[in-house]
Every structure is written in C-alpha cells, then in structure tokens.
C-alpha cells in the first residue's frame, strides 16, 4: 500500500470517530476534538511540531488533501488519549 492511501485510510478512521483538527498557525495552537471526548490541546513547541509534521507530509504528498493530512497526524493522539 502506498503512503497516500495509508494517510487517507487513517484520516477516515479519525473522521469515523468524529474527530476534527483546528490548526491555528498564527498562535500556534492545535485542538483535536470529537463529541463526547475531552479536547486534545497543544500550544507552543508541541503545536509547532504538529504543524511541522503536517507541512512535511503536504510537501511530500501534494496530491493528498490537507484535512486528511491533519487527521492522519492527529490519529496517534486520538488512539492514545481517547482509545
């Protein structure tokens, strides 16, 4: 399986869980949320690291939707904190 397909599949798993990602690069902050779950909130260095991961995947896989990449990067947080 190719990496773009892996990204899309894990993003779909995140969507199926009701998760969404709000990435604010101006602050920087990241909020991963889903109904019935506590928000996963990052700021400062943690948020920059998340953003750097997203940008690296966007650069490497420009044909993959940015929302899918954000959810893909968020998936380990979702699994470990909400799982």
pLDDT by residue (tens digit) across 25-69? Answer: 999 999 999 999 999 999 999 999 999 999 999 999 999 999 999
Handedness of CA 54, 58, 61, 67 (dihedral sign): positive
The arithmetic mean of pLDDT across residues 7-16, rounded, is: 96
Residue 83 has pLDDT above 90, yes or no: no
Decide which of 1 and 22 is more confident: 22
Q: Is the model's pLDDT at 21 over the cut of 90?
A: yes
Q: In terms of Cα–Cα distance, which of 46, 20, 37, 47 is closest to 82?
A: 37
- DSSP class of residue 63? T
Q: What is the pTM (predicted TM-score) of this model?
A: 0.94
User: Which residues, 6 or more positions from 62, have their beta carbon under 8 angstroms from its beta carbon?
Assistant: none
pLDDT at 72: 98
Asked whether the predicted pLDDT for residue 1 surpasses 90, the reply is: no
Per-residue pLDDT, 10:
96
């Amino acid at each position: 399986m190719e990496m773009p397909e892996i990204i899309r599949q894990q993003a779909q798993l995140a969507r199926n869980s009701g998760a969404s990602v709000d990435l604010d690069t101006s602050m920087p902050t990241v909020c991963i949320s889903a109904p019935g779950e506590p928000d996963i909130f990052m700021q400062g260095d943690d948020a920059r690291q998340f953003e750097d991961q997203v940008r690296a995947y966007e650069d490497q896989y420009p044909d993959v939707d940015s929302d899918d990449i954000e959810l893909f990067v968020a998936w380990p947080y979702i699994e470990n904190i909400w799982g």
